[in-house]
Amino acid sequence: MLISCAATRRRFVLVLLAALALATPAAGSATARKAIVISISKQRLRVYKGDRIVLRSYVSTGRTGFDTPVGSFTILTKLPSQTMEGVIGGEYYNVPDVPSVLYFTDSGHALHGTYWHDNFGTPMSHGCVNLPLDVAAWLYDWAPVGTPVLVVR
């Protein structure tokens, strides 16, 4: 039997949500578990509180040769603003005052606000997840360090 990529992705998200539900505290004891899911193929972000979607947005992930890593991560560090500078794949970049930065890998991949383009829904980045400014600000305030981040194809 052939299972489509979409069916596999749905099953993976359902497994993640089931795991989150098991980790969710009992009603009345604390807030529901939070999670961020990014689909590279759809260039979409879904933000969950428990099993309820609380935010959806288009994003821009890494373009060809600058792939956003697929897998299960957590928010490691948050910075209200940061100048991002470096060389990746022979390309130099210097972007001052990038807002609402949420790092999810030790190798520099982050969700962050993006003021230099508004082409969300299309891969544009050097591997980060570019977010509209209002989405990035909301997510920065909402997601504590340790929030699960799932990046799927």
CB 120 within 8 A of CB 42: no
Q: Is residue 105 within 8 Å of 69, Cβ to Cβ?
A: yes
What homologous superfamily does CATH list for 5-152?
L,D-transpeptidase catalytic domain-like (2.40.440.10)
pLDDT at 74 over 90: yes
Q: Where are the domains of the chain?
A: 5-152
pLDDT in tens, 14-34: 545 544 444 444 444 356 899
106 within 8 A of 77, measured Cβ to Cβ: no
Residue 5 burial (10 A CB sphere; 0-12, 13-18, 19+): exposed
For residue 146, the model assigns a pLDDT of 98
Mean pLDDT of 75-98: 95
pTM above 0.95, yes or no: no
Residues 90-114: pLDDT tens digits? 989 999 999 999 999 999 999 999 9
